[in-house]
Chain A
Amino acid sequence: EAQVTQNPRYLITVTGKKLTVTCSQNMNHEYMSWYRQDPGLGLRQIYYSMNVEVTDKGDVPEGYKVSRKEKRNFPLILESPSPNQTSLYFCASRLIGRGLATGELFFGEGSRLTVL
């Protein structure tokens, strides 16, 4: 089954304790991206990757890191989490291009992170 898988789905942590949220897709998509969803602010892009070893900042990258060593994986790293990073995080992937065969984003189920 084609899917995007995130782990963990729920996490409570404390300020400053490094954590990683994993994201994996099995659709051979070049493009992967991380978003955070906050009430009233919608979806905001954190980082994205156009392919292996190619990453770039989105709209709200501060406090986050990513890596793309393999095509299927795109982990999100919070080196020193702070309470303002409490949010619902979504990973997504898609084929690059325009037209009916590409463009659609496939989302993971989300990871709810609470930083105390």
Chain B
Amino acid sequence: AQRVTQPEKLLSVFKGAPVELKCNYSYSGSPELFWYVQYSRQRLQLLLRHISRESIKGFTADLNKGETSFHLKKPFAQEEDSAMYYCALLTGPGGYQKVTFGTGTKLQVIP
């Protein structure tokens, strides 16, 4: 069965410090990985996905199939990055897809 693990419930960093939010997954097939972000009192929204290979708001994430990881990184944290971050795994063929979320990591950027 597929699983997504985000080991940190809370990550506190100082403004300007590097950020790394960890995500590990278990799935034997070909995964699609996503990072969703939820700012305070707002709906969840897509931050980035591995197949687009984009940098959004300074964040990047690389899929490492050997380590089954999809860690989210940013070189210099900003106060507006404070939010809840969820890693998600999309598995299965067209008619049987499933999205599995991790338990989330709250990022707190200290001014």
Contacts and interface: CB of A to CB of B under 8 A. Distances in A.
Contacts of B104: 42-43
Interface residues of A, number: 24
A32 to B, nearest CB: 12
A100 B101 contact: no
B95 interface: yes
A81 interface: no
Interface in A40-72: 40-45, 50
B94 interface: yes
B43 A110 contact: yes
| Main SS class of interface, A | loop
B99 A45 contact: yes
Nearest to B100: A45
Contact of B94 (A41, A42, A98): A98
A40 to B, nearest CB: 7
Interface of B: 6, 9, 32, 34, 36, 42-46, 49, 51-52, 86, 88, 90, 94-95, 97, 99-104
Interface of A: 31, 33, 35, 40-45, 50, 90, 92, 96-100, 103-105, 107-110
